[in-house]
């Protein structure tokens, strides 16, 4: 058995659901598209900023020969719902269920590299560079060329076995492997992901306006534009809409990896308690999730927005507490907006409270948000 077949066999033993091999040739054909996306303002800033390093493996690795791509399937459904406790709940998108996938993939790739080194009798000349989506290369493009699946019109990798519910990682190496056959798109005339994307972020050719993507919007740290607030519904992190409507995901729900199993109370949390989470509480409850990487501030802002989208008027006293005590202007202002949206009729006591709070605000954005809330209240 040659090394490639041995690696594929051991990958199964390690719990790697798909593995493919491709050359370390460049991805230069994508450069015009990436430059056009940047010029159009469609990038998010989360991407690796050096475009050449995203496209040319030899810019980030000395004499690369091959790239090994892996995929791990994650669950699409929660089989055990949290108890009905009364308070409204938010939710994390599927890619943030379980332990942070970066950790899971890093461990799998480290184990695979260890096996390759051992199988190759610890050849000191062998080199490897593993990465997940925080690395330089474009995961979906590498995975597609390595034969793991095809890139859908939503820009995600779609595998025949698991749909798009997969985490991706890759390893650049100086070992030369025979490449696997790339897969071509099977989307055909289907446009469901494009049609169902609320902010119309998908451009139709596998690219998107990342600034309009709801997943990106949930991860920003500043004020969320009012246009996107109703669109996120009760989602605290990420977005699954373009995956949920995809025909290739119909019936796909794999519970293969225990570390990816969602804890219902964690990924479907009660919203009101989130408003006053301490840093310690946040780290304890959500620290292991991929959705925790931006900290608690975006999640708390999203929780306030979710309370409005769920029409939870029981949240009003808690939002007034946030306005009174939270030290962050953006959170106070979002809470003021929420009170203005949730309060069903004019309420002199709340109006006086907001006027007093407005007088203490010093940032222009917060002042505008408070005034808008007051205007909204007085129009009821």
114-123 pLDDT, tens digit per residue, is 999 999 987 8
pLDDT single digits (tens) 368-378: 999 999 999 98
Q: 167 in a domain, yes or no?
A: yes
What pLDDT is recorded for position 199? Answer: 98
Across residues 104-111, what is the average pLDDT? 98
Count of structural domains, the chain: 1
**Residue 273, token pair as written in the block:** 């308690």
DSSP state of 72: E
pLDDT of residue 247 exceeding 80: yes
Domain of residue 25, residue span: 1-268
Q: 372 in a domain, yes or no?
A: no
Closest CA to 25 of 4, 55, 3: 55
| Residue 94 · residue 243 · CB < 8 Å | yes
pLDDT single digits (tens) 292-332: 999 999 999 999 999 999 999 999 999 999 999 999 999 99
Q: 285 in a domain, yes or no?
A: no
pLDDT single digits (tens) 345-361: 889 999 999 999 999 99
DSSP β-ladder status, 166-173 and 66-73: antiparallel
What pLDDT is recorded for position 1? Answer: 67
User: Which residues touch 348 (CB under 8 Å, ≥6 apart)?
Assistant: none
Q: Can 133 be counted among the known catalytic residues?
A: yes
274-277 long-range contacts, CB within 8 A, separation 24+: 274/90, 274/236, 274/299, 274/300, 274/303, 275/300, 275/303, 275/304, 275/315, 275/318, 275/319, 275/321, 275/322, 275/335, 276/318, 276/321, 276/322
Helix H, strand E, coil C: the string for 319-341 is HHHHHHHCCCHHHHHHHHHHHHH
The rounded radius of gyration (Å) of the Cα atoms in the chain is 23
| Residue 329 · residue 368 · CB < 8 Å | no
**pLDDT > 70 fraction of the chain, expressed in percent and rounded:** 99
**Residue 194, token pair as written in the block:** 């494009």
Q: Coil, strand, or helix at residue 236?
A: strand
The single residue of 17, 133, 139, 240 carrying the catalytic annotation is: 133
- Beta bridge pairs of residue 346: none
What pLDDT is recorded for position 109? Answer: 98
pLDDT single digits (tens) 279-292: 999 999 999 999 99
Per-residue confidence band for 379, with pLDDT thresholds at 50, 70 and 90:
confident
pLDDT single digits (tens) 53-75: 999 999 999 999 999 999 999 99
HSE, side-chain direction, 13 A CA sphere, residue 283? 3
What pLDDT is recorded for position 175? Answer: 97
pLDDT single digits (tens) 255-284: 999 999 999 999 999 999 999 999 999 999
CA distance 177 to 334: 54
Q: 243 in a domain, yes or no?
A: yes
Q: 254 in a domain, yes or no?
A: yes
Could you tell me the pTM of the whole model?
0.96
pLDDT single digits (tens) 211-235: 999 999 999 999 999 999 999 999 9
Across residues 150-168, what is the average pLDDT? 98
User: Which residues touch 163 (CB under 8 Å, ≥6 apart)?
Assistant: 76, 243, 246, 248, 249, 250, 252
pLDDT single digits (tens) 21-53: 999 999 999 999 999 999 999 999 999 999 999
Q: 61 in a domain, yes or no?
A: yes
Range in 119-123, 155-159, 194-198, 311-315 the model is least confident about = 119-123
Q: 159 in a domain, yes or no?
A: yes
**Residue 98, token pair as written in the block:** 């379980």
What pLDDT is recorded for position 83? Answer: 87
HSE, side-chain direction, 13 A CA sphere, residue 291? 29
Mean pLDDT of the chain: 97
Q: 217 in a domain, yes or no?
A: yes
| Residue 68 · residue 19 · CB < 8 Å | yes
């Amino acid at each position: 058995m040659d090394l490639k077949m041995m690696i594929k066999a051991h990958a199964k033993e390690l719990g790697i659901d798909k593995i493919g091999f491709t050359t370390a040739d460049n991805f230069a054909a994508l450069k015009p598209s990436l430059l056009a996306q940047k010029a159009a303002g469609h990038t998010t800033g989360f991407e690796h900023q050096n475009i050449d390093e995203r496209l040319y493996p030899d810019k980030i690795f000395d004499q690369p020969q091959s790239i090994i791509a892996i995929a791990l399937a994650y669950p699409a459904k929660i089989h055990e719902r949290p108890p009905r406790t009364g308070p409204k709940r938010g939710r994390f998108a599927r890619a943030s269920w379980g332990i942070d996938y970066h950790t899971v993939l890093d461990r799998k790739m480290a184990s695979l590299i260890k096996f390759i080194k051992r199988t190759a009798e610890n050849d000191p000349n062998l080199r490897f560079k593993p990465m997940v989506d925080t690395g330089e290369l474009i995961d979906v493009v590498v995975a597609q060329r390595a034969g793991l699946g095809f890139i859908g019109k939503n820009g995600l990798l779609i595998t025949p076995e698991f749909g798009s519910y997969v985490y991706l990682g890759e390893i650049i190496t100086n070992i030369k492997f025979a490449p696997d056959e790339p897969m071509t798109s099977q989307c055909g005339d289907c446009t469901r992901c494009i049609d169902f994307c609320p902010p119309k972020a998908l451009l139709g050719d596998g690219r998107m306006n990342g600034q309009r993507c709801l997943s990106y919007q949930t991860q920003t740290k500043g004020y969320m534009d009012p246009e996107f607030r109703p669109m996120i519904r009760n989602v605290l992190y990420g977005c699954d809409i373009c995956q949920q409507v995809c025909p290739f995901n119909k019936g796909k729900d794999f519970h293969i990896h225990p570390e990816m199993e969602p804890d219902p109370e964690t990924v479907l949390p009660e919203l009101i308690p989130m408003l006053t989470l301490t840093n310690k509480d946040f780290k304890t409850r959500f620290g292991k999730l991929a959705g925790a990487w931006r900290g608690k501030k975006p999640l708390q802002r999203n929780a306030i927005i979710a309370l409005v989208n769920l029409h939870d008027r029981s949240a009003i006293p808690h939002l007034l507490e946030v306005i009174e005590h939270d030290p962050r202007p953006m959170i106070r202002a979002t809470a003021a907006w929420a009170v203005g949206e949730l309060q069903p009729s004019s309420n002199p006591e709340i109006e006086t409270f907001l006027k007093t709070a407005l007088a203490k605000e010093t940032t222009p954005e917060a002042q505008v948000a408070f005034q808008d809330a007051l205007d909204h209240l007085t129009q009821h």
